[in-house]
Structure 1
């Protein structure tokens, strides 16, 4: 697309809508339909002019390798944005024999953009987008019987909610032996509370739990004001009071692509100790 046409979109529309115009204005759109890689390529090309908070191919490869290893029947992501990760990982789950990819997205406008691109990629019948708060959606997925066990969870949404959403899954019993969590942006912009939690021993978590009351607010320690204010907002709080399950044994470490300032924290549930 010509630079002049992009500047027209810049004046009148948000970058997410500009992305839709850029992709659907392609002269050979029929050659893109049904090809996830081609849709991802176009999102990345457009991202050279407009920065998008997508996981990208280098870090994405870490998660696709987990998909190939685990072969999840159902995979969940927290934070769908414009659908990049849903297309990349949804395609991988489908190719590895899975049944469904579930994308939870707070913003209805972002979800609408994502759904159009997911359909273009040929994944409409495989990727299920749910609009709303991640904690409320997770509880509903469990209550309905749609997801009783977390096989593989990709976390890339409101940064202070990483820990409380994992603790909610723990309390519901969704995280058990074999569950794997893959959290983005743990180094940049960083997520100190989440890393501290998943890297703690059972003894350390039990010690904290003794004097800990159920969370009525997000732990925003170590986050910038900009990070705290995004998405849910600085005055937001968890929908549910959660403590989690301190008896869960995790093995957790960052996996960082060469030359990338950020990493994916890969966390595996390797056991549950008796109380």
Structure 2
């Protein structure tokens, strides 16, 4: 992989974001994602809500050799754009983007995930997590984006990861928003 290719794609997406609001994680919260990838060294990552592939690329380029990212994107056009961006970043060998509703796709996924990044319908975060809980192992990491700006929409999710006893969970601020990082116990 050409590290420069991934960086060029990320900058192009950021530039598009500057011309009009794009719901991407951005560099500040992206740094938290990268930090968690480096800390936990996941071999299998699930992203719920790939959009145009920005965070997918951020994560995939940091993964150890042989690791994979599976992204789920409900919008067909955005999924195609994500695939094109991932190919331009020369990461297509490590990433699969599935088009579909995560509530329907997740039950069909096999195996366990070392890391999950939630960045889709905030009202459904707890539903996604409940579908995933049998696919997580002790030390699996779940990162939920927009934990500050969408805290009301995510209230049931936040209550679950903070109070169920199944996770060690903490809020991390990144820019004007933040993420909830929950490690499965």
Same fold (TM over 0.5): yes
Distance 2:136 2:90 in 1: 31
**Corresponding residue number in structure 1 for 2:28:** 58
Distance 1:261 1:33 in 2: 28
The structure having more radius of gyration, on CA atoms, is 1
1:98 deviates by 4.0
**Corresponding residue number in structure 1 for 2:116:** 153
**Corresponding residue number in structure 2 for 1:77:** 47
1:33 deviates by 9.8
2:82 alignment partner, one of 111, 114, 120: 114
Q: Spell out, residue by residue over 1:167-215, the C-alpha distance to the aligned partner (whole angstroms, 9 max, x if none).
A: 1112xx212211110000111132212111111134xxxxxxxxxxxxx
Sort the Cα spacing of 1:70 and 1:187 in 2 relative to 1 into closer, same or farther, 3 A.
Answer: same
- Using the size of structure 1 for normalisation, the TM-score is 0.63
Say if 1:34 and 1:120, in contact at 8 Å, map to a contact too.
no
1:54 deviates by 0.3
1:123 deviates by 1.1
**Corresponding residue number in structure 1 for 2:172:** 255
| Structure 1, unpaired ranges of 5+ | 1-31, 143-147, 203-248, 271-275
- Using the size of structure 2 for normalisation, the TM-score is 0.93
Distance 2:117 2:3 in 1: 26
* SS class of match (2:112): coil
1:34 deviates by 6.3
Distance 2:162 2:68 in 1: 29
Q: Spell out, residue by residue over 1:9-29, the C-alpha distance to the aligned partner (whole angstroms, 9 max, x if none).
A: xxxxxxxxxxxxxxxxxxxxx
**Corresponding residue number in structure 2 for 1:43:** 13
Runs of 4+ in structure 1 deviating by more than 4 angstroms, as ranges, are none
Distance 2:131 2:44 in 1: 18
Distance 1:68 1:195 in 2: 24
* SS class of match (2:122): coil
Sort the Cα spacing of 1:101 and 1:72 in 2 relative to 1 into closer, same or farther, 3 A.
Answer: same
**Corresponding residue number in structure 2 for 1:124:** 92
* SS class of match (2:182): strand
2:157 matched to 1:189? Answer: no
1:119 deviates by 0.8
* SS class of match (1:47): helix
Sort the Cα spacing of 1:198 and 1:113 in 2 relative to 1 into closer, same or farther, 3 A.
Answer: same
Alignment of 1:67-106 (within 5 A): 67-93=37-63, 96-106=64-74
2:137 matched to 1:200? Answer: no
Q: CA RMSD in A?
A: 1.6
| Structure 2, unpaired ranges of 5+ | none
* SS class of match (1:254): strand
Say if 2:44 and 2:112, in contact at 8 Å, map to a contact too.
no
Distance 1:50 1:169 in 2: 33
Q: Spell out, residue by residue over 1:134-155, the C-alpha distance to the aligned partner (whole angstroms, 9 max, x if none).
A: 122111112xxxxx22200000
